[in-house]
Amino acid sequence: MSYFPSSLENLIDKLASLPGIGQKTAQRLAFHILALSDIEAEAFAGAITDAKRQVHTCRVCQNLTDAEVCTVCENPRRDTTTVCVVSDPKAVLAIERGHEYHGVYHVLHGVISPMNHISPDDLKIRELVARVAEGGVSEVILATNPDTEGEATARYISRLIAPFGAKVTRLAYGIPVGSSLEFTDDATLMRAIAGRLDY
Amino acid sequence: MSYFPSSLENLIDKLASLPGIGQKTAQRLAFHILALSDIEAEAFAGAITDAKRQVHTCRVCQNLTDAEVCTVCENPRRDTTTVCVVSDPKAVLAIERGHEYHGVYHVLHGVISPMNHISPDDLKIRELVARVAEGGVSEVILATNPDTEGEATARYISRLIAPFGAKVTRLAYGIPVGSSLEFTDDATLMRAIAGRLDY
């Protein structure tokens, strides 16, 4: 038997379903939300609905956006001949923080991972190949994470796009092996971009 | 400049405003929410709205409920002559888990804390006094936490309700069951000795 009202129990359950949030933390968060003003609570619920409704992938690079084309792709000062391929939007954020990369991106939304049943068809690889095949791309920087799955994904993609004649490079091993782009400091990340190698 | 769509940034900000949730965790949670199905995301947002809209305090004991009277107060088998005074709904849950207390509760929703600008008027103390003054209460158990603020609150309340003739008791202090004397703090140990019982 539960001693919290059912709608409160429901909110606690929903919060506890989030990654890394246990039952105790979910309770604490739920009580915090109950203590918000009506307007704040509505805004919170609205933020979830809005994000879910408005956020979709950019027609060009597959990054998340709420417009048809993302802010990077619609920026006329970005060099569209260089495409940096990353696994997810957080990696774009990490590279943009360095303010030194002026090309565009392609977001795969994952890496090939047989263990997790993620095949190339589950990723935005087809869109990347189409983009390169269309022409106008002189260099593709493979910037997946420097771990086994990221490497395998990079290798898979490099083979697919080799026929189209664009130069294919990989981030330099300035990045500590086994880590994640998201948590790499800006200086290391910039070194890795500057020292990128033929792949 | 932000590289996430504004509705996603907004969701991240909202999540990061929760206690104990930092920017990185908020990002992780936001991406998790974006990956939910539309129906799941709607249910999540709805859980917040519903909890906020439906949950209020019980007319009798001030515990949280979505009915007019909470499940404990409406249970005819509970002994309404014994009122256990606690600081918050989580304490009710803790005591109910023991399945041995058959009286009813009074939830203060906080403790007196001059440091945090919480005065007696901010708590449900007036409601408790009215309840005791009405008669029919033979014992009031003060079950606020055994810390400075909980003690001060208990003392304050005991003085207010003394005139009405109900017996006023306080939870026993002592060594927690299953713990070790070696790791019990001095104050607890002294209290346990002072409150020793015939065996």
Which of A7, A18, A65 has the CB atom closest to B55's CB atom?
A7
Say whether A54 and B3 touch across the interface (CB within 8 A).
no
Say whether A5 and B90 touch across the interface (CB within 8 A).
no
The residue of chain A with its CA nearest to that of B38 is A52
Residue A161 lies in a domain: yes
Residue A9: pLDDT over 60? yes
Q: Which residues of A touch B28 (CB under 8 A)?
A: 19-20
Contact B41, A84 (CB under 8 A): no
The residue of chain A with its CA nearest to that of B28 is A19
Query: In the prediction, which pLDDT does B196 show?
Result: 73
Taking only the tens place, the pLDDT of each residue in A32-80 is 999 899 999 999 999 999 999 999 999 999 999 988 899 999 999 999 9
pLDDT-derived band of residue A140, with 50, 70 and 90 as boundaries?
very high
SS3 A191: helix
Residue A181 lies in a domain: no
Say whether A7 and B71 touch across the interface (CB within 8 A).
no
Written as tens digits, the pLDDT of chain B (199 aa) is: 466 888 999 999 999 999 999 999 999 999 999 989 999 999 999 999 999 999 999 999 999 998 889 999 999 999 999 999 999 888 888 888 878 888 999 999 999 999 999 999 999 999 999 999 998 999 999 888 888 888 899 999 999 999 998 889 888 777 777 777 777 787 777 777 777 766 6
Which of A29, A31, A51 has the CB atom closest to B10's CB atom?
A51
Residue A155 lies in a domain: yes
CA B46 distance to own-chain centroid: 24
Query: In the prediction, which pLDDT does B163 show?
Result: 92
Say whether A5 and B65 touch across the interface (CB within 8 A).
yes
Give the type of residue at A159.
R
Residue B128 lies in a domain: yes
Residue A82: pLDDT over 70? yes
- Minimum distance, in Å, between the CA of residue A24 and any CA atom of chain B: 10
Query: In the prediction, which pLDDT does B173 show?
Result: 79
d(CA B154, CA B125): 11
Higher pLDDT, A170 or B1: A170
Which of B20, B32, B51 has the CB atom closest to A7's CB atom?
B51
Say whether A66 and B18 touch across the interface (CB within 8 A).
no
Say whether B89 and A4 touch across the interface (CB within 8 A).
yes
Residue A7 lies in a domain: no
Instruction: Please name which of A94, A117, A181 lies closest in space to residue A144, comparing C-alpha atoms.
Output: A181
CB-based contacts of A25, cutoff 8 Å, min separation 6: A15, A16, B20
Residue A104 lies in a domain: yes
- Minimum distance, in Å, between the CA of residue A165 and any CA atom of chain B: 30
Say whether B28 and A48 touch across the interface (CB within 8 A).
no
Structural domain boundaries, residue A155: 77-170
- Minimum distance, in Å, between the CA of residue A68 and any CA atom of chain B: 11
SS3 B42: helix
Residue A36 lies in a domain: no
Domain count, chain A: 1
Residue A11 lies in a domain: no
Domain of A140, CATH number, reads 3.40.1360.10
Residue A160: pLDDT over 80? yes
Contact A27, A35 (CB under 8 A): no
